[in-house]
Structure 1
Amino acid sequence: MAKRANGEGSITIRKDGTYHGRVYVTTTSGIRKRVSVYGKTRDEVRHKITELQAQENQGIPVPDTNMNLEDYLTYWLATVVKVHRRPKTYQGYESVARVHLVPGLGRKKIRTLRAAEVRTWLARVASECQCCKHGWDKERPEPQCCATGECCKALLSRRMVQSIHAVLRNALQNAVREELIVRNVAQLVQVPTPSYDTGKGLSVADARLLIRESAEDRLHALYVLALVLGMRRGELLGLRWDAVDLDRETLIVERALQRVSGELRLVKPKTLASVRTVPLPPVVVKALTEHRERQAQERAAAGIEWKEHGLIFTSRIGTPLEPDNLRRSWHPLSLPPGAGDQVSRPAALRRVAPARPRRASPRGSADRRPQRHRGDHEGLRARVAGRTAEGAQEARGHPLVRALAYRLA
């Protein structure tokens, strides 16, 4: 048998009958290193050596580290997610990693993790009762379900399973970019897509009723802004007086209030497009003017207990409003029976059902889906940049404002 040339690799048989192959390749650290592969047959090992040599010929380095998933997630969260993503995003990713990924796959090596392992684990997570897993019922003074032998089947939602898969996929994709692994096995795994109920939104009649019912509420102006401008909850609670120009009838959305790691923070809005200048229709100008007078009265009544933050919507002593408290304060304003469940959450205020079809669908039927105000006012905001007077003038003629015309009297 002819002698093997340098670089072709070698294959030897081990004492247990398996085969051991070795070949020199370039690693991600830039040095040539002799790596080992193993298999039950000589052909299997030869195939693995050939794959390594093919990567070498294509200029693809071989990862020379093989940390487990727990160590990599700790590194990724601290140096990538926490630095480059929003605080709320980091909080969500960290929670998914700590509660689900680390206990389930934390000991797996990222280089040898296989798609079949991820698929099997995700299927198990989706079918596992969370009450049994975390012992929630055992912690109760009087067990009610799983601890008594009757499983309550508290399964994770499809949306949560999708989130777990997404965090794992994003983490492994970063490992691919850093040349720690060759491919992202999580991308090869499909998870069921969540199904959502169709948001009915509010009709113009419901919007009119809400404004009338909330006229005496201290957060009346907040509901008007949500209805007419379609602002998010965090954007409303993070709105400051210095961002509002009632004389020029404009408003700048540039921050949002969120609870992150146990404290309230003013952060950048959700997307770059969310930083925007918005024209204020007269109904909004009037509501903000009245709200400023009401806040001045609350400031005088609070006296030295008032804590000034410059926010438009605050507690009765000037502190930022807890986002969850807004939902609780919203319930007493729920519309009467017959208005539907679409107004059970403040987020529903961002949707108003159009009074007439927006466009014809390809099949010829009218598209009557609820529309969010961001799209509804997109043209107005595009025209307000640099021409606020013109934008405010157009805002006066907006269909929603005309529908609420009784407030302009």
Structure 2
Amino acid sequence: MGTRKPNGASSIYKGRDGKWHGRVTMGVRDDGKPDRRHVERKTEAEVTREVRKLERERDSGRVRKAGSSWTVEKWLTYWVENIAAPSVKANTTAGYRVAVNVHLIPGIGAHRLEKLTPEHIEKLTQKMQKNGSKPATAHQAFRTLRTALNEAMRRGHLTQNPASLAKSPRLTVIEVEPYSVAEVQRILEAAGDRRNSARWAIALALGLRQGEALGLKWDHLDLDKQALRVRRNRLRPKYEHGCGGKPCGKKAGYCSQRKQTNDDTDDTKSAAGRRVIGLPASVVQLLLEHKEVQGTERRRAAQLWQEGGWVFASPTGRPLNPNTDYHEWKRLIKDAGVRDGRLHDARHTAATVLMLLGIQERAAMDVMAEPKQS
């Protein structure tokens, strides 16, 4: 008769079903009972390999929690709504939701979480690009998955992150070509005839991002001290239906009784984004003139004006919608007769704009210096 193995020792045996079985004690479960794992294979060699693999995981401290029934879909849904959403900015959460719901769940959601492999992930991102997704979109989905799986690993649902082993989609670096002096002159001339004309001169001259420019309030500016504090970022508004039990049939954003579900602004993207920018005298003058024009609009709108303190506002005082602002930029560069370009890339033209506003080169370099923390 063989010697009885001590409690907790691994065992390998051939069952009555003709298959080989292995049992490994991995630790203690949350209820205090032994966490005993079972593997089943056709041959003794195969089951021995699986037993040794479990033992290595146990000995290295990389043990997946017992009874895990997570699929990739269940985990990603839980992660984005219960872990990511309460802890990151609204825009970041929105990007995560798109990656999860549009790309990741349809592509790999059916896999068991612990069975997901680097090859599954690589095939997904390759398929996305074959189906027309841009490399940046595939890369964003990949990064979102890697972040979600890092959290799964931290919580013991995975022993390693397959996204960390997979090859990330290759990104094509697009070189930004700033507008020339002649092009900037035409843009500024065309902007001068438009409502909120200062919005374009200020943003281009100071290198402000769209959200930073649209998130500006008058109390962020000290025109006497010629300083501007960047603090808030304008968010793209999100809506839900307000039409009650009888939906109007339109998208929520076009519902006549729509209700906005998010805030107008959020803190700037990073600590580096919260900065103080010195305002040259010519820029201060532009803002003073703009404030006077806005005062006239306020009086004209009368009771329709919704005071929010926005530097750049609608004719009734509401903050500008980023989508409306984007299309206004496209119309502006078309009217100016210059090549198409992203508003975000136009920030690289800031030094040129400062020169055209009559600011000496040394002063322009001071304005464009690394942002100061405050």
TM-score range, shorter-chain basis? 0.7 to 0.9
Q: Map 1:130-141 to 2 at 5 A.
A: none
- The residue correspondences of 1:258-407 to structure 2 (distance < 5 A) are 258-262=235-239, 263=260, 265-334=264-333, 339-341=338-340, 344-352=341-349, 377-379=368-370, 381-382=371-372
1:48 corresponds to: 50
Please state how far the C-alpha of 1:41 moved relative to its aligned partner. 2.1
Q: Return the offset for 1:291.
A: 0.4
For the residues of structure 2 that align with 1:174 and 1:80, how far apart are their CA atoms? 9
1:135 aligns to what? none
CA contact (8 A) 2:187 2:336 kept: no
Aligned 8 A contact 2:205 2:349 in 1: no
Identity of matched residues, %: 29
* Contact 1:21–1:45 (CA under 8 A) maintained in structure 2: yes
Superposed counterparts of 1:33-72, under 5 Å: 33-64=35-66, 65-72=68-75
Q: Give TM-score, length-normalised by structure 1.
A: 0.76
Contact 1:73 1:171 in 2 (8 A): yes
1:170 aligns with 2:117: no
Cα distance, 1:121 vs. partner? 3.4
Kindly report which structure 2 residues correspond to 1:76-155, keeping only aligned pairs within 5 A, or say none: 76-128=79-131, 155=132
**Correspondence for 2:22:** 21
Name the stretch that deviates more: 2-11 or 96-105. Answer: 2-11
Secondary structure at the residue paired with 2:96? helix
- Specify whether residues 121 and 13 from structure 1 end up closer, same or farther in structure 2 by C-alpha distance, changes over 3 A only: farther
Q: C-alpha deviations, 1:371-393, integer Å up to 9, x for none?
A: xx9997234x44x97xxxxxxxx
- 1:392 is aligned to none
- Following TM superposition, by how much is the alpha carbon of 1:13 offset from its aligned partner in structure 2, in angstroms? 2.9
**Could you tell me whether the CA contact under 8 Å between 1:28 and 1:62 is conserved in 2?**
no
- 3-state SS of 2:344 partner: helix
Q: Distance in 2 between matches of 1:331 and 1:105?
A: 38
Cα displacement string for residues 77-134 of structure 1 (whole angstroms, at most 9, x for unaligned residues):
1222111111011111112211222222222211222222333333333334xxxxxx
Matches of 2:237 and 2:159, distance apart in 1: 35
Question: Structure 1 residues 106, 280: CA separation in 2 closer, same or farther (over 3 Å shift)?
Answer: same
SS at match of 1:176: helix
Instruction: Calculate the TM-score normalised by the size of structure 2.
Output: 0.82
Root-mean-square deviation over aligned CA pairs: 2.6
Change (3 A) 1:300 1:22: same
Contact 2:10 2:22 in 1 (8 A): yes
Aligned AA for 1:176?
A: M
Following TM superposition, by how much is the alpha carbon of 1:161 offset from its aligned partner in structure 2, in angstroms? 1.4
- Give 1:34 shift: 0.9
Cα distance change on mapping 1:23 and 1:374 into 2, 3 Å: farther
Counterpart of 1:377, as a letter, is: M
Task: Please report how far the alpha carbon of residue 17 of structure 1 lies from its aligned counterpart in structure 2 after TM superposition.
Answer: 4.2
CA distance in 2, matches of 1:124, 1:196: 21
In 1, distance between residues paired with 2:212 and 2:365? 13
How many residue pairs align between the two structures? 338
Query: Which AA in structure 2 matches 1:163?
Result: Q
Aligned to 1:190: 167
**Residue equivalent to 1:243:** 220
The answer to whether the 8 A contact 1:204-1:354 is kept is no
The answer on whether the counterparts of 2:208 and 2:347 sit within 8 Å (CA) in structure 1 is yes
Residue 217, structure 1, aligned to residue 194, structure 2: yes
Q: Which whole-Å deviations, capped at 9, do the CAs of 1:210-263 have from their partners, x for residues lacking one?
A: 223322322221112112110010111110001111101001110011115334
Give the Cα separation in 2 of the matches to 1:93 and 1:16.
47
Deviations 1:181-209 (A, max 9, x none): 10001111113312143110122343333
Counterpart-to-counterpart distance in 1, 2:175 and 2:30:
52
Closer, same or farther: CA 213–336 of 1 in aligned 2, 3 Å: closer
